[in-house]
Structures are given as C-alpha cells and as structure tokens.
Amino acid sequence: MRNSDPHDAPHSAPNGALERLRHALQQALGGRPKGAGALFPKGADARLLAAIQAIGPARGHRHPPHVAHGVMAFRLHGRETPAPELKYACYGIARQVDWDGRRLIDEPRRVADLLAAVGDLAAPPADAHDAPAFRDCCRGLLAAWQESADERAAEAAAGDGARWQAVGEFLRAQGLL
C-alpha cells in the first residue's frame, strides 16, 4: 500500500536520476572507498604531502600561540619564567616564533639559562620525575630533540654538533636519552 504523503514519494519510489548520479559517482571514484579521501584525484595525497614538506614547519603566528608566548616570556624573564611558560619555551626551543625568525637553540647563553631554569624545577633527586613542572619541561625538551633529528644529523655530518650538545647532555642526565 502506497503512502499518500507527497513528501514521502521520493523515498518510496525508485528514482532513475538518483541511481544514474550514484552510478556516475562510483565510476568517477574508480572503486576507491567513499569518504573525504575519495574526493581527491589519485596521487593528490602524495602531492599534498610533498607540498607540506616543501613549505616546511609553521613559523611565527602559525605556531600554537602558547608556544610563541612561552618563548617570548622566557626571552623577557629568563630564569624567572613561570613554569607553564617555561614548559612551552622548552617545546619551542628550536622553533622560529619571533617576527625576525630567531630560535632559542641558536643562542647558547639562552639555552644554558633555559636548562638551568628547568633544573631549578627539579624536586629532590628521589622525586625528580614526579615533579609535574619539571616533567613537563623535560617532555618539551625531548619533543624538541626528537623533532630536530634531521637538523642534528646534518650538523653532525658537517662536523658541527655543538648547538644541541647541552640539551643532549641535560636529557641524558635525566635518563631520557
């Protein structure tokens, strides 16, 4: 028995135009899975990835604001930087977040101050890794260390690995490397 409601008619009766459209879409997709990735031509993912890699990491205002804020707070306050900002400065040690593209890792005095400030957060040796602020800063330094693997390898091949030496020694002293 057919429903007499005109709003239900397209749903209850087969529609040739909709079937043709569905068939045309399946042909255009070439049997690939449906979803967001199916809307792009084959090979677009590889081209998009290549473009992202060519552009390089985000800089300045494209960085998460808290990382840029942490680096700037550290530049202003040095070793007196509060723990939350210090944590983000650790994550941003190798990132260009200033308008002029400076990085903390390129300034040995600031790296020494940053590592000293992080060291000041450490609790007594038995509880060193239980101190949340210290732990968070170490995580930030370790993340920066891992993100910089290609840069460090290139510097080592060129015979210049001094830039990351202090950070590596600090992380080794904490048992993280």
Burial of 6 (0-12, 13-18, 19+ CB in 10 A): exposed
Residue 7's CB is within 10 A of a number of other CB atoms, namely 7
User: For residues 58 and 63, what is the distance between their CA atoms, to the nearest angstrom?
Assistant: 6
Report in angstroms the alpha-carbon separations of 83 from 64, 69, 132: 18, 13, 10
**What are the 10-residue block averages of pLDDT along the chain, 177 residues in total?**
49 65 71 53 65 58 75 93 92 85 92 94 62 88 91 84 88 89
* 140/117 Cα distance (integer angstroms): 13
The reported pLDDT for the residue numbered 115 is: 96
Domain ranges of the chain: 9-55, 60-173
pLDDT at position 64: 78
Residue 101: both structure tokens together: 């593209």
